[in-house]
């Protein structure tokens, strides 16, 4: 077990930068040194902004010294999943189809982070066109590796983001999530990840996988750091058709209010009977409920439709929408797709209109179930993974046919979810839990997540990279 991540959290760094104790230049140089040392093995980045980051750090330091402190992300090294428009750079989504694409403007979240003073460290690897499942070796760039065990998968599709944050090569990263693509790599890599309420964070300038539930969000070491990033990322954007004009609360001020008096519903049957998850997962997720009970929450059990029902709906809607987005390129540029990503998308071409409509109808029924549960409970807890991290070289073309998608239920219902580290397997690999809240109540989700992390003390364990 390694006892040092090598860099501070965003919250720690922000306090030190504001107080003049930590230099943004020194912080960026520390991250660049870790990238130089570890990324040749981990493949988290495909492009590192070495000189750009150094220059931005110097400018940030001058601003802060002159009294123009922009806030807790000022001078903080952040990695960018390569699905976001970034003017002056290619946005590839790890596909040869997009290898020459360069947007003429920045994604909304890129602008927000830049305005907040964040330092961009580089572009992070992803699964081709963000289609999750197993990593592929046939895309534009090689797959990112898991810092806890480089022979194991990071999960996807925000694979580079999970790897880079876990390895301390940046303090936070952008991810996107249409079926668990923030939450799965967060769980597999032992970090925190937030899928906010659909419409909370602008998806303008994000290369999508799904029209109806693709989300953008932060991936960080702690839930406190997720709150700091979400505070910057959240907000209405008229350029995004899914964006909702609703007030953005203060995500940070309520983090330390605790959970006493809150009602927590454990969604156990997803991982204990609908799917026979390993005992280590069952014990770890049940332990989240026990920890929250010790902190004063009331803990009960939630019963919904079987997980396979949720999985079936997601397996109709997600490939159908992915195929609709990429149909023209699949027809005209077939050979430029990696075979695994191409074959996964082609499943969507087989979905009939009646199947899609029936899936949306069933989705509405499942949404009502979650709303009913959340009328009784403040948050719902379930697992973020049903199996250990698979081998990186597992080439199963359709892994989602073997194991139900545990993250997709909350894409279907659009609710906010935070992934937290819940424990470890016997071999030292991390286990992740999902904390689900009511729509627009990310404050409560983050408050519960932060309370659990402080009490459980599991974040004091780090990947042993040496």
As annotated, the active-site residues are: 81, 157, 181
Closest CA to 417 of 176, 193, 243, 212: 193
Angle value at C-alpha 54, between 51 and 59, nearest 5 degrees: 125
Query: With left for phi above 0 and alpha for psi between -120 and 50, is residue 339 left, alpha or beta?
Result: alpha
Tokens 């698979």 belong to 390
Q: Which residues of 117-135 are buried (b: 16+ CB within 10 A; e: fewer)?
A: bbbbbbbbbbbbbbbbbbb
Q: Which helix (H) or strand (E) holds 45?
A: strand 45-48
Distance CA 119, CA 109 (A): 13
Contact status, residue 264 vs residue 302, Cβ threshold 8 Å: no
Contact status, residue 73 vs residue 113, Cβ threshold 8 Å: yes
CA distances (Å), 24 to each of 36, 47, 68, 141, 209, in order?
18, 21, 14, 30, 35
Distance CA 50, CA 34 (A): 12
């Amino acid at each position: 077990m390694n006892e040092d991540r090598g860099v501070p959290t965003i919250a720690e760094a922000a306090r030190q930068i504001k107080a003049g104790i930590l230099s943004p230049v020194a912080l960026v140089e520390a991250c660049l040194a870790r990238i130089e040392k570890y990324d040749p093995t981990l493949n988290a980045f495909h492009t590192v902004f070495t000189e750009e980051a150094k220059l931005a750090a110097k400018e940030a330091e001058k601003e802060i010294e002159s009294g123009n402190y922009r806030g807790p992300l000022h001078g903080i090294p952040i990695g960018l999943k390569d699905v976001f428009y970034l003017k002056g750079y290619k946005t590839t989504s790890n596909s040869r189809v997009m290898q020459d694409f360069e947007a003429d403007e920045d994604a909304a979240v890129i602008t927000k982070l830049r305005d907040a003073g964040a330092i961009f460290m580089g572009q992070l690897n992803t699964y081709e066109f963000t289609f999750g499942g197993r990593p592929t070796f046939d895309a534009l760039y090689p797959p990112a590796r898991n810092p806890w065990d480089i022979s194991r998968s990071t999960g996807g599709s925000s694979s580079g983001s999970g790897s880079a944050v876990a390895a301390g090569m940046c303090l936070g990263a952008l991810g996107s999530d249409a079926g668990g693509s923030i939450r799965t790599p967060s769980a597999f890599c032992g970090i925190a990840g937030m899928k906010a309420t659909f419409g909370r964070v602008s998806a303008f300038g994000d290369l999508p996988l799904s029209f109806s539930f693709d989300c953008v969000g932060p991936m960080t070491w702690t839930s406190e750091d997720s709150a700091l990033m979400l505070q910057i990322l959240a907000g209405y954007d008229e350029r995004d058709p899914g964006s909702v004009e609703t007030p953005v609360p203060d995500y940070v001020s309520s983090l330390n209010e605790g959970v006493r008096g809150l009602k927590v519903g454990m969604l156990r049957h997803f991982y204990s009977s609908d799917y026979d998850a390993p005992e280590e997962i069952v014990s770890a997720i049940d332990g989240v409920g026990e920890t929250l009970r010790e902190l004063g929450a009331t803990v009960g059990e939630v019963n919904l439709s079987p997980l396979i029902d949720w999985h079936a709906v997601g397996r109709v809607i997600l490939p159908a929408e992915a195929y609709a987005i990429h149909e023209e390129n699949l027809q005209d540029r077939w050979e430029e797709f990696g075979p695994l990503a191409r074959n996964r998308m082609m499943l969507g071409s087989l979905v009939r209109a009646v199947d899609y409509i029936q899936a949306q109808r069933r989705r509405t029924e499942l949404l009502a179930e979650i709303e009913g549960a959340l009328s009784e409970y403040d948050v719902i807890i379930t697992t973020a993974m049903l199996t250990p991290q698979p081998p990186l070289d597992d080439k199963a073309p359709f892994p989602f046919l073997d194991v139900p998608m545990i993250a997709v239920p909350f894409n279907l219902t659009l609710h906010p979810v935070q992934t937290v580290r819940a424990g470890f397997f016997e071999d030292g690999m991390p286990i992740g839990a999902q904390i689900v809240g009511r729509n627009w109540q990310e404050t409560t989700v983050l408050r519960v997540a932060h309370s659990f992390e402080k009490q459980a003390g599991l974040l004091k364990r780090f990947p042993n990279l040496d």
